[in-house]
Amino acid sequence: MREAWRWFGPEDPVSLEDLRQTGATDVVSALYKIPAGIPWPVEEIQSFKKLIEETSGGKSPLKWSVVESIPVHEHIKLGKAGSDRYITAFIESMKNLAACDISIICYNFMPVIDATRTDLEYRLPSGARALRFDQRLYSVFDLFILQRDGARTDYSPQEIEQAQAAFQRMSRQEKNSLAGNITEGMMGKMTDAYDTDEFRQALAQYKDIDKTAYRKNLYRFLERVLPEAERLNVKLAIHPDDPPRDLFGLPRIICTASDLEALFTELPSPSNGVTLCVGTFGSRPDNDLPEMAKQFGPRIHFAHLRGVKRDLDEPRSFYEAEHLESDIDMIAVIRNLLLEEHSRKSRLDDAPLEITVRPDHGHQMMDDLNKKINPGYSAIGRLRGLAEIRGVIRTLEKTGV
């Protein structure tokens, strides 16, 4: 298994020097400044790669091995006439990355919003802070701040009443920060940041696109991209919709094991794969993560090894737990990923022999509580996550899985 770390570039408060000290060997990154729909030039990929990989003065080597992510232009998602040129741009970025020996590409097909949380500083009993999605706060935003057309049909009368009461109790500042958390998104997102009006307009564009139509837009995109990826031996790894269920009436199509089955049945290319984001899929009780690691093994080109704990009285709400202390059996997931690696050695396909994994969304803790950090991407919490995962990997490797 290759241990990786997400890095946002020279402005990331966690430097490459810090990153090396975590023991990670691989870097997950992207040319975040290039807007969706513009091809990534070879020269820019090369100079960013050089920045990451240079080892002057005997520094431990690092390899930029995974791109997370090339953004998919909203016109492709909307299936707009004229979106072909944006697909061409995506393919060109992919070719240029392959020319620089970067062959694992994570992407997502979430409409309008990337990973969505209501609280970026949820206090844990330990004093550390975590990311959280709270269903009640989400409904306050949807019903009473955004006042989305048709939203009421998504809730029971009791839920509406509770949301209204919560809305009335909230201060203006709490309402603004809730709206900002949802519409501005998190660091590393692949969609735009919006204010509330822009957000309403962005949602409105999807009002006539149901899941079936939206799947067709994904398939249409992949039908062009996959043959090129195969030729280049690039592996595409779709990231699930986070959280993996319907939000804001948008078509969300990568949420469950059966969504993945449908995708791989439709397009069986070996380049068509998944980012096994354990925390995302695992925030639904009906996704069995150890089983998914087994079932989709050959298609897992990349994995995010974090977990969540769902609220007992409201399973749609969750917070991001310690990597090994969540509702998901992380040890069983890692065991199945290691078994997949074993079977790759005896298979004749061209899947990479090692799966690249990274810790994700660490807690803000200790010294990081007093620093400016990117929520979910502070150093110490992720270091803790990586160290715990590494302990599991080494133990399972040593004891024969």
Binding stretches for ligand DNO (CB under 6 A): 68-69, 106-108, 114-115, 186, 188-190, 239, 242, 376
**Least distance to ligand DNO from the beta carbon of 337, Å?**
18
The residue assigned the tokens 């990586």 is 386
**Residue 21: exposure state from Cβ atoms within 10 A (0-12, 13-18, ≥19):** exposed
**Residues annotated as part of the active site:** 239, 277, 304, 360-361, 377
Q: From 74, 182, 83, 82, select the one nearest 132 (Cα to Cα).
A: 182
When the beta carbons of 143 and 379 are compared against ligand DNO, the nearer one is 379
Strands 300-304 and 272-277: parallel
Measured from the CB atom, is 304 or 309 closer to ligand DNO? 304
Task: Report the DSSP beta bridge partners of residue 105.
Answer: 67, 236
For residue 82, give both structure tokens.
């004229």
In single-letter form, the type of residue at position 229 comes to A
What is d(CA 58, CA 38) in angstroms, rounded to the nearest whole number? 36
Cβ of residue 340: shortest distance to ligand DNO, in angstroms?
21
Nearer to ligand DNO, 3 or 242 (CB): 242
User: Do β-strands 235-239 and 318-320 pair in parallel, antiparallel, or remain unpaired?
Assistant: unpaired
Cα gap 151→304, rounded to integer Å: 32
Q: In the complex with ligand DNO, which residue's Cβ is closer, 189 or 310?
A: 189
Q: C-beta of 24: minimal distance to ligand DNO in Å?
A: 17
Least spacing, CB of residue 375 vs ligand DNO, in Å: 9
Residue 167 or 256: the one with the smaller Cβ distance to ligand DNO is 256
Residue 272: φ, ψ to 5°: -90, 105
**Looking at residue 95, what DSSP letter applies?**
H
Q: How far is the CB of 395 from ligand DNO (least distance, A)?
A: 27
β-pair partners for 104 = 66, 235
